[in-house]
A and B are shown apart, each in its own frame.
Chain A
Amino acid sequence: MSVLVVTEQAGGKWHRMSFECLAAGQAAAGAMGCPLAALVAGSGVGDLAADLSAKQVSEVIALDDPVLGTYSPDGFAEALRQAVEQIQPRLVLFPHTYQVRDLAPKLAASLGRAFVSDAVGIRFERDGPVFVRQLFQGKLHGDVVVDGPPPYFASVQSGAFRADSVVDGEAPASVRFLDLALAPSMVRTSSEPPFQDAKDAVDLGSADIIVSVGRGIQDPANIPQAQALATALGGELAASRPICDNGWLPLDRQIGSSGQTVSPNLYLALGISGAIQHVVGMKGAKTIVAVNKDRGAPIFEIADYGVVADLFEIVPALVKARGEVE
């Protein structure tokens, strides 16, 4: 019985969340007192396997096959299904990436097992693991348990574990290349190389101050008010997904799991409820200010300073007060 961490890479480059997931795996293996295996899948993954073998893991599992050269749900789910059947892990952990959302439910279902998605924490009790999930857009949290026998499948949320807490190994771990029975004909979909719609005009990642607007801004005609505050504070204007979906601000100003991830000194959230998809993109900010009419909005859980009020009253007052200070 072991913990298996499934890492993610594309074109020989690591997904940054792979090592957050490895940190979760090291903690899990420590708590369960069992070996930890780290898995990398792709075509020509020898160098990546060597990266993993430098970490404190019992062994590295490499799934190396031309069929895995580009990601497909059919190819990857089948390869991982074969790996899980060979390794017989107790717990399989993934980083909660877009690819994992596409892949892991299929893999778990093909084995008749549950997949606990987007966990923000894991505890270990005698009967098995307990996963903490956010429900109702983050308004409530739940302890989730899985019925039935292992393996248990789960993914961990971006930022829930720290990549810099991954412990290096004392000696390189062995790398095991698994024998897989894969054929190109198993893959029913075909994908073309990734592309970007427009080159990012703004690099929100390097902004020290970000003023960000959510549904509470109500109307595109109100955007200039938020822009005025951003200008007064010397910051950039950003938004949560619904605002960019509506075309009120361009997509390159979107913060969150499908937009940019930022960690400015100051993040001022105006009328943003704090849904998980947004919070993962900004919770690394040094100081977070939230202005929201709803005292129960999840954004207040992570705010340093909170203002429960109408943003249309607070924002002009801030612009005015800032002008007076200058």
Chain B
Amino acid sequence: MNIFVCVKQVMARDSVLRPNETGTWAVDDGVSFEMNEPDTFALEEALRLKERHGGEVVAITAGPARSASTLREALAKGADRAIHVEGNRYVESDAYATAQALAAAIRREPHDLVLTGLQSDDAGFGQTGVILAELLELPHATIIMEIDASGGQLRCKRELEAGWFQTITLPRPALLTIQSGINKVRYATLMGIKRARRKPFRRYSPDELGIGEPVHQRVRSLYQPRQSKQTEFLEGSSQEVAAKLLNKLRFEARVL
């Protein structure tokens, strides 16, 4: 199976963020970057499918130069090769522009299965996979918990809302978005990191792929959330805070 797994590099989860001067994105000076956590589960699923059924795992991203390190991480964990559609425009791009870049590169190669994470931890559109399926004219299913690729078709367990699930069957090739937490992701080994240096790494510019610059939706201003409630912060030693809180819950909020 030729499996493509789409990954994104995002600011680390615990980053303290503030809007940049133009108010279109967060300041990323001094921030560390990591693989978007939902994508780590998609990568792990791709590696497991390859181990079970053979074939090749290609990690792909659309992002600025720094996102090459996230592709190296995917290679170190076991992906066979990497494709980087490189451009600063993909820092703030919307899901359509990202999907367009991924589609342009994937379209050039045989693909049986394309996997993405559920959503990104930065922009959080939760759309790139579905748009990518539409652009590649593939059937898709979202929020997938299990994949059975043993037959000619794909039988998948899809999560619905409020604890419900369903089994969905798709022909190949297809695109699946992977629910977070469905597997235990592996760490890169020292050997893996070494091997990654020699694995094929293809870099494309958007021009090479004939991609225009679509602007569909954009952030016009970014700001700290407005408090929807007046939060009363309790301070003091743990004992003092505990006593104050219980007192407030009993006599002010009247919920104890």
Contact = CB atoms under 8 A, between A and B. Distances in A.
A196 B131 contact: no
Nearest to B221: A143
A106 B131 contact: yes
B255 A286 contact: yes
Interface stretch (A25-33, A41-49, A53-61, A301-309): A301-309
B239 A296 contact: no
A280 to B, nearest CB: 11
Contacts of B131: 105-106, 109
Interface in A94-119: 97-98, 101-102, 105-106, 109-110, 113-118
B162 A260 contact: yes
B220 A110 contact: no
Contacts of A142: 219-223
B191 interface: no
Given A105-B130, A314-B242, A301 B229 contact: yes
A322 interface: yes
B25 to A, nearest CB: 9
Interface of A: 73-74, 97-98, 101-102, 105-106, 109-110, 113-118, 130, 133-148, 188-197, 200, 208-209, 233, 241-242, 244-246, 251-252, 257-261, 265-266, 276, 286-290, 294, 296, 298, 300-309, 313-314, 316-318, 320-322, 325
A156 to B, nearest CB: 14
Contacts, number: 238
Given A140-B224, A189-B139, A307 B245 contact: yes
B256 interface: yes
B139 A266 contact: no
A296 B16 contact: yes
Contacts of B19: 140
Contacts of A145: 217-218, 220
A246 B181 contact: yes
Nearest to A254: B163
Contacts of A209: 255-256
Contact of B26 (A140, A188, A241): A140
A140 B222 contact: yes
Contacts of B234: 305-307
